[in-house]
Amino acid sequence: MKVVITGGAGFLGQLLIRALCARGRLQDATGAERTIEQIVAIDQSHAARLFVDERVGYVVGDISQSALLMHVLGTDTDSLFHLAAVVSGAAEADFELGMRVNLDGTRALLDTCRTQRRPPMFVFASSVAVFGGELPQVVTDDTAATPQASYGVQKLVGELLVGEYGRKGYVDSRVVRLPTIVVRPGKPNAAASSFASGIIREPLAGEEAVCPVETETPLWLLSPTAAIEALLRAHELPRAQWQAVTGGRALNLPGLTVTVAQMIEALRAVGGDAAVSRIRVAPDPRIKAIVQSWASRFVTTRASQLGFRADPSFDEVVRTYAATHATTHTTIHTTPGTPT
Amino acid sequence: MKVVITGGAGFLGQLLIRALCARGRLQDATGAERTIEQIVAIDQSHAARLFVDERVGYVVGDISQSALLMHVLGTDTDSLFHLAAVVSGAAEADFELGMRVNLDGTRALLDTCRTQRRPPMFVFASSVAVFGGELPQVVTDDTAATPQASYGVQKLVGELLVGEYGRKGYVDSRVVRLPTIVVRPGKPNAAASSFASGIIREPLAGEEAVCPVETETPLWLLSPTAAIEALLRAHELPRAQWQAVTGGRALNLPGLTVTVAQMIEALRAVGGDAAVSRIRVAPDPRIKAIVQSWASRFVTTRASQLGFRADPSFDEVVRTYAATHATTHTTIHTTPGTPT
């Protein structure tokens, strides 16, 4: 089978490609195990070090360009993971860019999918950012999405379009709303949520991190590993089961509700007081406004029915990150009662 | 002031133009009364008999064409009423057409609004069709829109885009969700709801009407007169008040919940048994599926707070229609206790 991944040079894209190559096979919508022959990653630019495998090709380009998409998808694409997006802070700062990539890009992908030999599987990574404004204490599967920022609006429009193309039978649509993904390795990005990884990652690397929101701010989090598992599960669930539970709508994924203060304590458990001392809290009104408009408490009944799972604890998320990305600046602490 | 009306040659568009010309003035977002100097109506085609007034100009064209919109809007448009749409049945039958007019058209209008001297007022006529699927018994202002057909998806995406351009300050956005408008004069159209006018209009004109849904089917209705009043009210409410109540979101308008059986009894009260005998109930699975996916019971708290009102009764709606459009085939009955 041929798999196309937008945003394939990004952090999640690279993790997904590694996971796909390691498995070598993927279940299709009929439940049949199929060998992955080809993976094509599209991205606006490429990271310095990309995962290399004979099955993987990389294409640089803008997903809003139909000609590029027709070239990349051909007519034989079986599965598409649509991860590419202009992130929240950048979409708010550059309206046209956000509209072009997040909205026109999704639309162009969907239209290109209609030219495939068979309707492809279309897994769309949407976001918790579709929720905003006056929200109930706890967001449920039936809570209305009311985004308050460009990124959330564009993701919600994307969800609706992917769902509609699914309803029409042009794609097999699977839309999942990702919590904030923490801990991302590498550099900060223009996402308003970038700090949530930064306040763990930078201190563990011996660097200072700025936290632009108050420490009592709650966030709704998922680890990169759990996010990749969720994308693969969304792909592999039989169509009938997916439809029966979701009705073809976007699925709120499980996650952990963690305050920044609790994140800092998890950092302390792994990196000690020295790591914590590298965090400086300096509220930024622009970032705060976006982050505070996001939902942080969910009951994800449908996702649980479909077997999606959150990380066991945020401490575990930090420990896993530190174990995989430890540097000389980090002394990893093990806490009593935590076998490592 | 200069007012642009999309779908201006259509039934509601013509009623709106008449109303605007009769008033001659319109309140802007600051509450100032302004003289209407120019009205430009855009439509895909023109009715045989258009309302003529020296202030009104008509342009034939496709609202998804930016060049046309730039020509029509110029840079001095103060207000836009966006009524144009490919209706529900047609949008379902011709996916590309619905996407182009209902989605690309709305987007092109919004982008053209950004080139105006001042951000114009943007009144968008959305629809009850954004609700569908498994719905609560009664739809409230907080019920999630979950459209189950192309038209509803395209209207909902339009709502989100209009709201977003409003939030960014590119337009002053006012989105109202119209109930099914009954009684429309003239010919049946490709809307799945077309029969709802047809079963009143045709029998009163001495013609047979086919009802494609069971008589116990409930509908959520508003008269054309009340719809025009609602569009004007949406325009004239001060921005601060609109924002305080709606939060910039789409507003469910008030309406009447009426079953087809009750509609038929209202017809009997006005047109007698002879009129009712001209209705033939012949359920059509395609129409039924669309109509049954619509919501029919609402509590419209926000709209009431803003002074929007439904018609007093459906009998009154039919009487008003018959009085305005009576033909030789109609003997208008007056019911006891109903002064006429």
Is the per-residue pLDDT at A338 higher than 50? no
- Are B247 and A143 inside 8 Å of each other by CB? no
B252 touches chain A (CB under 8 A): no
pLDDT value at position B339?
45
Residue B121 in tokens: 């007022």
Specify whether the CB–CB gap between B281 and B211 falls below 8 A.
yes
Residue B11 in tokens: 């039934």
Average pLDDT over residues B223-249: 96
User: What pTM was estimated for this model as a whole?
Assistant: 0.93
- Half-sphere CA count of A86, side-chain side, radius 13 A: 26
- More confident: A252 or A336: A252
Is the per-residue pLDDT at A328 higher than 70? no
For this complex, say whether ipTM is above 0.95: no
pLDDT value at position B294?
84
Nearest by CB to A133, from B95, B148, B247: name it: B247
DSSP at A139? B
Q: For chain B, give the percent of residues with pLDDT over 90.
A: 85
May I ask the CATH class of domain A2-179+222-252? alpha beta
Average pLDDT over residues B107-124: 97
Mean pLDDT, all residues of chain A: 93
Query: Which among B291, B160, B324 is positioned nearest to A132, based on CA atoms?
Result: B160
Which residues does residue A173 pair with via DSSP β-bridges, in sequence order? A122
Q: How confident is the model at residue A340 (pLDDT cuts 50, 70, 90)?
A: very low
Q: How confident is the model at residue B334 (pLDDT cuts 50, 70, 90)?
A: low
pLDDT value at position A46?
81
pLDDT value at position B180?
95
Average pLDDT over residues B104-116: 98
Could you tell me the sign of the dihedral formed by the alpha carbons of B38, B39, B42, B43, in that order? negative
Residue B83's alpha-carbon distances to A38, A277, B6, B149, in angstroms, are 47, 58, 5, 19
pLDDT value at position B49?
87
Average pLDDT over residues A136-163: 95
What confidence tens digit (pLDDT) does each residue in A157-180 have? 999 999 999 999 999 999 999 999
Average pLDDT over residues B102-115: 98
A146 touches chain B (CB under 8 A): yes
Distance from CA of B119 to the nearest CA of A (A): 16
Residue A168's alpha-carbon distances to A173, A228, B86, B91, B295, in angstroms, are 10, 27, 17, 12, 21
Range from A13-17, A104-108, A321-325, A333-337 carrying the lowest mean pLDDT: A333-337
Q: How far apart are CA A222 and CA A220, in angstroms?
A: 7
Query: Which among A272, A264, A242 is positioned nearest to A314, based on CA atoms?
Result: A264
Residue B82 in tokens: 């966006």
Average pLDDT over residues B211-219: 96
Q: How far apart are CA B245 and CA A157, in angstroms?
A: 24
* Closest chain A residue by Cα to residue B153: A160
List CB contacts (< 8 A) between B143 and chain A.
Answer: 144
What confidence tens digit (pLDDT) does each residue in B269-293 have? 999 999 999 999 999 998 998 888 8
Is the per-residue pLDDT at A23 higher than 90? yes
Three-state secondary structure call for residue A102: helix
Is the per-residue pLDDT at B46 higher than 90? no
Q: How confident is the model at residue B37 (pLDDT cuts 50, 70, 90)?
A: very high
CATH of B2-179+221-252, one of 1.10.1200.10, 3.30.470.20, 3.40.640.10, 3.40.50.720: 3.40.50.720
Angle, helices A150-167 vs B150-167, to 10°: value is 170
For A66, counting Cβ atoms within 10 Å of its Cβ (0-12 exposed, 13-18 middle, 19+ buried), the class is: middle
Interface test with B, best of A95, A113, A160 (most B CBs within 10 A): A160
Q: Are strands A33-35 and A38-43 parallel, antiparallel or unpaired?
A: unpaired
Residue B30 in tokens: 């600051």
Cβ count near B114 (within 10 Å): 15
Q: How far apart are CA A102 and CA A83, in angstroms?
A: 10
Contacts of B299 (CB under 8 A, 6+ apart): B138, B139, B140, B141
Q: For chain B, give the percent of residues with pLDDT over 70.
A: 96
Sheet (strand B256-259) strand order:
B180-181, B218-222, B256-259
Q: Are strands B172-178 and B251-252 parallel, antiparallel or unpaired?
A: parallel
Q: How confident is the model at residue B79 (pLDDT cuts 50, 70, 90)?
A: very high
What confidence tens digit (pLDDT) does each residue in A196-236 have? 999 999 999 999 999 999 999 999 999 999 999 999 999 99
Interface test with A, best of B111, B134, B160, B301 (most A CBs within 10 A): B160
Q: How far apart are CA B166 and CA B174, in angstroms?
A: 8
Chain mean position to CA A86: 12
Specify whether the CB–CB gap between A184 and A317 falls below 8 A.
no
A302 touches chain B (CB under 8 A): no
Buried b (16+ CB within 10 A) or exposed e, A29-46: beeeeeebebbbbbbbee
Q: How confident is the model at residue A331 (pLDDT cuts 50, 70, 90)?
A: low
pLDDT value at position B318?
97
- Are A157 and B153 inside 8 Å of each other by CB? no
Q: For chain A, give the percent of residues with pLDDT over 70.
A: 96
Query: Which among A117, A92, A89, A121 is positioned nearest to A236, based on CA atoms?
Result: A121
A residues 125-144 near B, CB within 8 Å?
133-134, 142-144
Residue A310 in tokens: 């959150």
pLDDT value at position B88?
84
- Are A167 and B148 inside 8 Å of each other by CB? yes
Distance from CA of A49 to the nearest CA of B (A): 37
Interface test with A, best of B164, B177, B249, B293 (most A CBs within 10 A): B164
Q: How confident is the model at residue A151 (pLDDT cuts 50, 70, 90)?
A: very high
- Are B160 and A161 inside 8 Å of each other by CB? no
A residues 164-223 near B, CB within 8 Å?
164, 167-168
Is the per-residue pLDDT at A134 higher than 60? yes
Distance from CA of A294 to the nearest CA of B (A): 16
B225 touches chain A (CB under 8 A): no
Q: For chain A, give the percent of residues with pLDDT over 90.
A: 85
* Closest chain A residue by Cα to residue B248: A148
- Are B150 and A168 inside 8 Å of each other by CB? yes
Q: How far apart are CA A93 and CA B13, in angstroms?
A: 37
Mean pLDDT, all residues of chain B: 93
B273 touches chain A (CB under 8 A): no
Specify whether the CB–CB gap between B12 and B224 falls below 8 A.
yes
Q: How confident is the model at residue A339 (pLDDT cuts 50, 70, 90)?
A: very low
Specify whether the CB–CB gap between A127 and B116 falls below 8 A.
no
Residue A266's alpha-carbon distances to A231, A258, A259, A313, A335, in angstroms, are 26, 10, 11, 9, 10
pLDDT value at position B133?
85
Three-state secondary structure call for residue B2: strand
Nearest by CB to A157, from B95, B157, B247: name it: B157
Range from A200-214, B241-255, B322-336 carrying the lowest mean pLDDT: B322-336
For B280, counting Cβ atoms within 10 Å of its Cβ (0-12 exposed, 13-18 middle, 19+ buried), the class is: exposed
A150 touches chain B (CB under 8 A): yes
What confidence tens digit (pLDDT) does each residue in A80-111 have? 999 999 988 899 999 999 999 999 999 999 99
- Are A168 and B95 inside 8 Å of each other by CB? yes
Average pLDDT over residues A28-34: 88
What confidence tens digit (pLDDT) does each residue in A270-298 have? 999 999 999 999 999 989 988 888 899 99
